[in-house]
Amino acid sequence: MTASQINITEFIKSSERSVSTARESSVAHLGALERVRTKAVVAKGVEMTFQSGVESSLVLQGVDLEIPYGEIQLLMGPSGSGKTTFLSILAGILTPTAGTVHLLGQEITQMSKDELSKFRLKNIGFIFQGFNLFPALTAAENVEVALRMKGIKGSAAKREAQDLLYQVGLSNRVNYLPRDLSGGQKQRVAIARALAGNPRLIMADEPTASLDSHSGHTVIELLRDLAKESNRTVLIVTHDPRLIDVADRVTYLEDGILKN
Ligand SMILES: Nc1ncnc2c1ncn2[C@@H]1O[C@H](COP(=O)(O)OP(=O)(O)OP(=O)(O)O)[C@@H](O)[C@H]1O
Ligand SMILES: [Mg+2]
């Protein structure tokens, strides 16, 4: 074989290699697109570094998570492992230092501030640790505030707030102030508020913390019904082992790394 023939053979081999690499990468790309299309939540390579003064701490070290539509996903792990940080990133409240997050097929990590707040308002109901209710407003008014933010106003907001409080079993407490409600009832108001505008994603940070066993159970059943009856996707950060039974999947975060 002459030198030029060897070169041609090498050229053909290397072309074949690059065609097959291109094919593989386009198959991988299609796979990624398919996952984004069929999953409610797709987080890929999420990293978070907090900078305080000269010190920086890497709290999330490349976390991947996928949640199919209509499922309840639990995120557990020791205190300080990065659960709230990760949940805040998935809810678009914090921007990760690296990685991507797709929610309902859209990449939120690419959105402008404006687009993101519109997306969040329409699609995510967030239940904060410690209820976060306005102390001077009644249960119904607390829910109405959320409805108003979502563009539902006047008598429609009043009717909708009553209906949401009915759904969480609080028809007889609509005019109560938070201070006159039990912890479990306050949490149910917070859930009713998260349901305002019928978002497809519910994210909750420690929804049963500080609730007694009965109230905790009511809240757990409510979260399960939300997911199963209305095909919502629910992501819950919790230490509460009672929630494991209602979850479709459980993942553990330890030192910023997910362990299944
Ligand atoms: N804004 C911030 N600036 C600097 N460090 C932060 C910030 N927010 C969180 N951290 C640090 O990130 C780590 C993870 O915090 P995070 O609140 O996500 O933990 P967690 O798993 O939710 O813990 P817990 O179960 O106690 O709620 C902690 O070490 C915390 O000190
Ligand atoms: Mg936390």
The protein residues having their C-beta less than 5 angstroms from ligand 2 (an ion) are 84
Q: What is the CATH number of the domain that holds 51?
A: 3.40.50.300
Ligand 1 atom 5 nearest Cα: 50
Counting the structural domains of the chain, the total is 1
Of 32, 73, 116, give the one whose Cα is nearest residue 204.
73
In sequence order, the 6+-apart residues with CB closer than 8 A to the CB of 101 are 41, 42, 43, 44, 46, 89, 90, 92, 107, 108, 109
| Structural domain that includes position 119 | 3-259
- Give, for all 260 residues of the chain, the pLDDT tens digit: 555 565 666 756 666 666 666 666 666 666 667 777 789 999 999 999 999 888 999 999 999 999 999 999 999 999 999 999 999 999 999 999 999 999 999 999 999 999 999 999 999 999 987 778 999 999 999 999 999 998 999 999 999 999 999 988 899 999 999 999 998 899 999 999 999 999 999 999 998 887 888 888 888 888 888 888 888 999 999 998 988 988 999 999 998 898 87
Whether 256 lines ligand 1, by a CB cut-off of 6 Å, is: no
Q: Which residues pair with 68 in a beta bridge?
A: 39
Ligand nearest to the CA of 61: 1
Ligand nearest to the CA of 79: 1
Q: What is the DSSP string of 175-239?
A: T--GGGS-HHHHHHHHHHHHTTT--SEEEEESTTTT--HHHHHHHHHHHHHHHHHHT-EEEEE--
Of 102, 123, 105, 119, give the one whose Cα is nearest residue 37.
105
81 Cα nearest atom in ligand 1: 21
Ligand 1 atom 8 nearest Cα: 85
